Amino acid sequence: MMVKARKIMTDAFRKGSKNFLQVKTSAFAQLSTHIKAFKPLEEHRISHGYAQIFNVIAMIAERAQAPTVADSHMVDTILRIFDDIEENLETSLAIERKAEANRKDAFREVEDKLKGQITKLNNAISAIDGKILQLQLEVSSYN
């Protein structure tokens, strides 16, 4: 998503003079449309939080659709914002991967403990069944 958004910006703003660039309304419309097409994978996860940021960028792009003159500093600032978002997204994904790995490890640990307890209980049940059988045989031998 970010790669295409960056391409839209660079294609529209990097052509022509380095000092002042004529911004075309269609570039902002394209950017807004592209960003609004992003849908989070799951609610209350990383993509949902970034979707909110992307929606703000789309609103800015929609408001900027009036013909404007932009200098390269403004374009660089917008692209730097994209860089920051990508960097933060990569960091967030790394944190999320680590958290998911920790959740899986914790689940496996609990699962192993439960399986151990189940095995102990099954062994205890078998021992009790054996004792019951032994007692039944002793009782039947007295009859």
Residues whose CB is less than 8 angstroms from the CB of residue 35 and which lie 6 or more positions away in sequence, other chains included: 1, 5, 54, 55, 57, 58, 61
- For 17-37, the pLDDT digits (tens) are 443 445 555 666 777 777 777
> 114 to each of 107, 117, 143, how far by Cα in Å?
10, 5, 43
For the packed helices 25-36 and 46-63, what is the interaxial angle rounded to 10 degrees? 160
C-alpha–C-alpha distance, residues 109 and 65, integer Å: 55
User: According to the model, what pLDDT value does residue 136 have?
Assistant: 93
Phi first, then psi, for residue 33 (nearest 5°) are -60, -45
The C-alpha atoms of residue 99 and residue 22 are separated, in whole angstroms, by 46
More confident residue, 13 or 16: 13
**81 confidence band (pLDDT: 50, 70, 90):** confident
Which H or E run contains 69? strand 68-71
